[in-house]
Amino acid sequence: MDFRFRPPSSTALALLTLPQAQGGPETAWRSLYAGLFDVGVDAPLGAKGDFVARSTGNFILSETDSPRLRLVRSSETIRRGGAEGFAIHVQISGTVAGTIGDKTVECRAGDVFFLDLLQTLDLQITPGEKSAAAVALWIPRRRMLASIDDENALHGFVVRRDSPAAALIGGSLRLFAQQAGKLTAKEMDALADGVAELAVKSIAPLLPRTGGVDGGKPLASFVTIRHHIDQTLRSPALGVETLATTFGLSRASLYRLFEPVGGVASYIRKSRLNRAYQDIVAAEYSNRRIGPIAYRLGFKNLSAFNRLFKETYGVSPKEARERAIHGFAGAPPSAEPGEATSLGLWLARLSAVSMGENVCSRSPADSGQATAVDSPPPNINYQDGSGFV
């Protein structure tokens, strides 16, 4: 397979294209979407199609020229994959039809639709005269949740091509894609953030309310609990029992809310690891030892932490810090330089280091300012062990 990949820096964009797979077009598309969609092919593909995506580590912009494909994102795929952001998608030619969550949709050329990667879909892509072309902007979950009131409103929301909002959003995405090859990572981040904000503001008056009977948000939505977790990652008491008590939920209800991301404990562990990554690569923490950073986030065992870190990001904590010093910390790198990757893996790593994980925005107590933990606590275990609270 021939995925072309360049790690993002302050000036260059990472580039991902459709692989040259020995199994033909079907294998190429399955490889490209591995970890994101299960790909179904009803008949031999007449045309291969094409794909290109560019990433800054904070946003991904993709252009797709797709043959006839069925894309399925099941609960199991969501649990396995790790991607949890949103996508704004404009259809340029062909049609996309099926179910997005509990909605039945049919999108034609000019329509704009939104996807939440923590929810399911089953879509059939049907080419027009030649193929089904589309542009999509893939956005970290935190970025979108900063601009919307109801996290459940976007998935499957369609803006029809004859509406001013579709013309504005679709036109912006198409122009963005036309200029993407000329942009630096910094320029692309700024434009992507602006397009995301433009899209959310444009559809705000059109969005349905999916909260309680009074139209308000649920008292204990996934995003509410997630925000609480993110604010208390350093607390040793953070866990299922504490969350259930704090939000007045049964353990079963809590598990159901977090089932799409692998459960409560898995989400907490991943969030702590994400915060550790951010602290390790942050310029203001470059003189801090890695052991105390890990310990303050509940990882009791440095060897186990190092293994988990490398399994997740493909590099050791020390290597991640060295990359940051040389300007490559925008997103975790691929497992091996030049290794074949997929859009699903890109999106999982985009989720792992979202823009909201910004150490500069934390409170002094959370920012790791000089404390006694600059030296490893006496009970930290640097041998094999469970590795986290």
CA angle 88, 334, 113 (to 5 degrees): 10
Give start and end residues of each alpha helix (H) in the chain: 25-32, 75-81, 141-145, 164-179, 185-203, 222-231, 240-247, 251-258, 264-281, 290-296, 302-313, 317-325, 343-352
Contact in structure between 127 and 91 (CB atoms under 8 Å): no
Measured CA to CA, the distance from residue 314 to residue 320 in angstroms comes to 9
Phi, psi for 79 (deg, rounded to 5): -65, -40
Q: Which residues pair with 71 in a beta bridge?
A: 39, 123
Pairwise pLDDT comparison (354 vs 110), residue with the higher score: 110
Measured CA to CA, the distance from residue 55 to residue 199 in angstroms comes to 19
Single-letter residue type at 232:
T
Query: Read out DSSP for 105-146?
Result: EEE-TT-EEEEETTS-EEEEEE-SSS-EEEEEEEE-HHHHHT
User: Residue 119's closest CA among 40, 210, 231?
Assistant: 210
- What pLDDT, in 10s, does the model give residues 184-232? 999 999 999 999 999 999 999 888 765 443 444 444 567 678 778 888 8
User: Residue 275: pLDDT band by 50, 70, 90 thresholds?
Assistant: confident
- What pLDDT, in 10s, does the model give residues 294-333? 999 989 889 999 999 988 888 899 988 887 776 554 444 4
Helix, strand, coil share (%) of the chain residues, nearest 5: 40, 15, 45
| pLDDT above 90 coverage of the chain, percent | 36
At residue 387, the pLDDT reads 39
Measured CA to CA, the distance from residue 313 to residue 317 in angstroms comes to 9
- The tokens 């021939």 sit on which residue? 2
User: Which domains does the chain carry?
Assistant: 14-206 (2.60.120.280), 222-374 (1.10.10.60)
At residue 370, the pLDDT reads 31
At residue 360, the pLDDT reads 30
